[in-house]
Chains A and B, each alone.
Chain A
Amino acid sequence: MSLQLVFDALALGGIYAVAALGIALIFGVMRLVNFAHGQFIACAVFALIVPSTDALAVLGLGALPAPVLVPLILLIGAGLAVLAEALVFRPMRNASPVALMVGSFALGVALQNLLLALYGGRPKAVSLWAELGQPVQIASASVPLLQLIVIAAVAVILAGLALMLRKSRLGLEMRAAAEDFTMARMLGVRSNRVISGAFALSGGLAAVVALVLVAQTGVADVRMGGQIMLVAFIATVVGGMGSLSGAVAAGLGIGAASALLQAGLPADARPFRDAFLYGGVILVLLFRPQGLFAPVGAKPRV
């Protein structure tokens, strides 16, 4: 396997891992599969440009220098997620998981239509950090700078998050809530704080995915985020619902498998790359229906 392929696989897997983590965090604390996560990503992308239905996009926040822009977009992502929790999911706190899931679908549709109304249906060009596409020579591989940044950023985010979950009070409470929410509350974990915290982190991660996507593709489209959300959801299932490290591992795995299939399949089979990919997912679930790294608490006790 060439070094080039390793970088391609890591970069795609890294994006999927961050997206999967965003879904797993919320599932962990409130058993909600947040199907609006893809729209959180799209909203963070569109926050870069001035609202207008004209074909030509004008950069708004996107014109700011990176040291200001990155934290600002992360804050917008986190703020949107916290707002969604307060307005939509908090009133539904005691609803069944299915009702919550339908609620998240509805929120996603509402957000998408909001974007359509504000920005129109045509994809927009966003020239964000075009210079990051420049290839860098590493041994035999020529790797775009952006890929290296993505791989490094994913590593930093995962390490930071692991540290936060292990060392900080909020992290401890989140892990406790993920293990057994009712018990954690009885022991004095403040549920609103934990859930808002999880949403804020998840929204921040959605914004990270948004920035990477824009820098990579140079376009903003109301439908973007949908495909990543799907892969991320599958990754959380494969990783084991409720397991954060499982979601990350499965996200990396699916991204890497996708890059490897694209490189390895014969030309006639390549259009069906995703069929092979999801065929693999089905195989994994046949042998481990609870996912690869299912937490103990996820097993139904009879």
Chain B
Amino acid sequence: MKGLFRPILALAALSAPAFAEDDLTIGFAIAKSGWMEAYDTPAATAAMIRIEEINAAGGLLGRQIRVVEADTRTDRAESAKAGLDVLDQGAEMMVVSCDYDFGAPAALVAEGEGMNSFFLCAEDAKAGIQGVGPNSFSSSVLAPVQGATMAEWAHARREARTAYVLEDTFIEYNKGICTGFNWMFPQLEGAQIVGSDTFKNDDASIASQITRIKELPDQPDVIMLCSVMPGAAAAVRQLRAAGINSLILNGSAVDGSYWLEATPDLSGFVVPVQGSIYGDDPRPEVEAFNKAYEAKTGSRPASQYAYPGYVLIDLWAKAVERAGTVDGAAVTAELEKMRDEPTAFGPRSFTADLHHQNTALMQIIEITGGKPARADEWRVSQPVPLDVLMKK
């Protein structure tokens, strides 16, 4: 056995990246296997792109950034272990899984050490001060903001006056989208929610829900669908098959063209995103990132969920430069001073109450004839208030 191990050890020693004593270490406690992997890997890759850019430009505080990783296996218990694992490997800041449920156990480990943690793309206010602690952040845009953006945009640009809300009760994210829509839409001039219903993401059929919509005296101008894959694609397919042609709105979670085959020639489907993956974003930085991502992985981002990974490293690195240290409390204080801090994907703000975006400039993607394209951009006229965010 000894003879067998020696060459392996030698190999391991060779393959370990050469790093100096004073390197700065970021720990990634993320899903590298299990179903969450498909969502964590793109954002983690984007984070790596920003880290490589920083290293190429001379590093952070004069130190090169080193990355260590541990796998949460899409499992809540393993997430806490992965947090401890990267801590043992010397992490001084922790990047955790996209979703609150799977990222929080690792983020709590970081919080216990007074260390900063960033969720890769969480969009629930709990993934921050309210659910983890004072040093935890997410750079993505809160789900209620996405719902509110859809409400205000559809009202202003598509004359939507009647809306039907169809909520998938599967995860908190979906509830967040509907919460934002239900808060914003009735405030708008002449706008009214004419009905609402719920379904479950893995329902084999939503025939009963469709029957209820078809029984309305007039078909609604828009249907706010608060859902994620695969249920969202299934719901859209069944709605359109039943001959319901209202404009369908959803959150960012269904961005990407990979699911469009499910409803051939889909039209009138709109989502808000942080940046366009389709090569038509008006900001050249976004397309430059898409190209860098393609150069690194061989394909363009499959959805907008790569972007928050890039933004989080960008914001954290700026705060570290300003604080002159990686100490959690000091960096948090600098992050909380950010008001409309420019990033490649739009301005970002953090406050002492909220480590999330309660308003954001969003690109509006519309699918027409099965082809997604940027149609517009929109920023909600007022931030979503904290009590709406926390009400659920």
Are A130 and B243 in contact, CB atoms less than 8 angstroms apart? no
Q: Which residues of A contact B169 (CB under 8 A)?
A: 271
Check A218/B35 contact, CB under 8 A, given A125-B261, A133-B242: no
Query: Among B197, B243, B299, which residue has its beta carbon within 8 angstroms of that of A267?
Result: B197
A259 to B33, CA, bound (A): 36
Interface centre among A8, A135, A219 (most CB of B within 10 A): A219
Are B262 and A8 in contact, CB atoms less than 8 angstroms apart? no
Contact digits for A127-147, partner B, Cβ 8 Å, 1 yes 0 no: 100100111000000101011
Minimum CB–CB distance from A209 to chain B (whole Å) comes to: 9
Are A54 and B299 in contact, CB atoms less than 8 angstroms apart? yes
CB-contacts of A223-267 with B (<8 A): 223-224, 226-228, 259, 262-263, 267
Binds A, one of B105-113, B198-206, B216-224, B350-358: B198-206
Q: Which residue from chain A places its CB closest to the CB of B242 in the assembled complex?
A: A135
Are B38 and A120 in contact, CB atoms less than 8 angstroms apart? yes
Q: Which residue from chain B places its CB closest to the CB of A220 in the assembled complex?
A: B230
Are A147 and B207 in contact, CB atoms less than 8 angstroms apart? yes
Contact digits for A49-92, partner B, Cβ 8 Å, 1 yes 0 no: 00000111100000000000000000000000000000000000
Q: Which residue from chain A places its CB closest to the CB of B31 in the assembled complex?
A: A121
Q: Which residue from chain A places its CB closest to the CB of B257 in the assembled complex?
A: A56
CB-contacts of B309-340 with A (<8 A): none
Are B234 and A218 in contact, CB atoms less than 8 angstroms apart? yes
Q: Which residue from chain A places its CB closest to the CB of B299 in the assembled complex?
A: A54
Minimum CB–CB distance from B39 to chain A (whole Å) comes to: 8
A147 to B200, CA, bound (A): 19
Are A122 and B38 in contact, CB atoms less than 8 angstroms apart? yes
Check A127/B261 contact, CB under 8 A, given A55-B302, A216-B204: yes
Are A125 and B258 in contact, CB atoms less than 8 angstroms apart? yes
A123 to B227, CA, bound (A): 14
Minimum CB–CB distance from B371 to chain A (whole Å) comes to: 14
Are A227 and B202 in contact, CB atoms less than 8 angstroms apart? yes
Are B263 and A130 in contact, CB atoms less than 8 angstroms apart? yes
Check A219/B204 contact, CB under 8 A, given A5-B211, A123-B233: no
Q: Does B241 contact A (CB under 8 A)?
A: yes
Minimum CB–CB distance from B121 to chain A (whole Å) comes to: 14
Are B230 and A226 in contact, CB atoms less than 8 angstroms apart? no
CB-contacts of B9-47 with A (<8 A): 33-39
Contact digits for A85-128, partner B, Cβ 8 Å, 1 yes 0 no: 00000000000000000000000000000001000111111110
A71 to B226, CA, bound (A): 37
A273 to B169, CA, bound (A): 11
Q: Does B208 contact A (CB under 8 A)?
A: yes
Are B35 and A223 in contact, CB atoms less than 8 angstroms apart? yes
Check A4/B211 contact, CB under 8 A, given A123-B229, A217-B262, A218-B234: yes
A179 to B81, CA, bound (A): 50
Q: Does B212 contact A (CB under 8 A)?
A: yes
CB-contacts of A11-26 with B (<8 A): 11-12, 15-16
Q: Does A222 contact B (CB under 8 A)?
A: yes
Are A218 and B36 in contact, CB atoms less than 8 angstroms apart? no
Q: Which residues of A contact B234 (CB under 8 A)?
A: 216-219
Check A144/B242 contact, CB under 8 A, given A130-B263, A218-B262, A226-B202: yes
A176 to B186, CA, bound (A): 64
A216 to B242, CA, bound (A): 11
Q: Does B247 contact A (CB under 8 A)?
A: no
Are A227 and B204 in contact, CB atoms less than 8 angstroms apart? yes
Q: Which residues of B contact A219 (CB under 8 A)?
A: 229-230, 233-234, 259, 262
Minimum CB–CB distance from A231 to chain B (whole Å) comes to: 9
Minimum CB–CB distance from B225 to chain A (whole Å) comes to: 14
Query: Among A12, A57, A228, A273, which residue has its beta carbon within 8 angstroms of that of B207?
Result: A12
Q: Which residues of B contact A134 (CB under 8 A)?
A: 241
Are A56 and B207 in contact, CB atoms less than 8 angstroms apart? no
Q: Does B209 contact A (CB under 8 A)?
A: yes
Q: Which residues of B contact A133 (CB under 8 A)?
A: 237-238, 240-242
Q: Which residues of A contact B241 (CB under 8 A)?
A: 130, 133-135, 144, 146
A5 to B215, CA, bound (A): 12
A124 to B262, CA, bound (A): 8
Q: Does B260 contact A (CB under 8 A)?
A: yes
CB-contacts of B220-278 with A (<8 A): 229-230, 233-234, 237-238, 240-243, 256-264
Contact digits for B175-209, partner A, Cβ 8 Å, 1 yes 0 no: 00000000000000000000011111011110111
Given contact pairs A121-B74, A123-B233, A216-B237, enumerate 17 new A-B contacts (beta carbons under 8 Å).
Answer: A57-B258, A121-B34, A121-B38, A122-B38, A122-B258, A124-B258, A127-B262, A133-B238, A133-B241, A212-B204, A216-B238, A218-B237, A219-B234, A262-B209, A263-B212, A271-B169, A271-B198
Counting from the closest, the 8 A-B pairs by CB-CB distance are A133-B241, A218-B262, A217-B234, A125-B261, A123-B230, A121-B35, A55-B302, A55-B258
Chain A interface residues (CB < 8 Å from chain B): 2, 4-5, 7-8, 11-12, 15-16, 54-57, 116, 120-127, 130, 133-135, 142, 144, 146-147, 212-213, 216-224, 226-228, 259, 262-263, 267, 270-271, 273-274
What are 16 contact pairs spanning A and B, CB under 8 A?
A2-B211, A5-B208, A11-B205, A57-B258, A120-B38, A121-B74, A125-B233, A126-B262, A127-B264, A147-B207, A216-B237, A219-B234, A224-B230, A227-B204, A262-B208, A262-B209
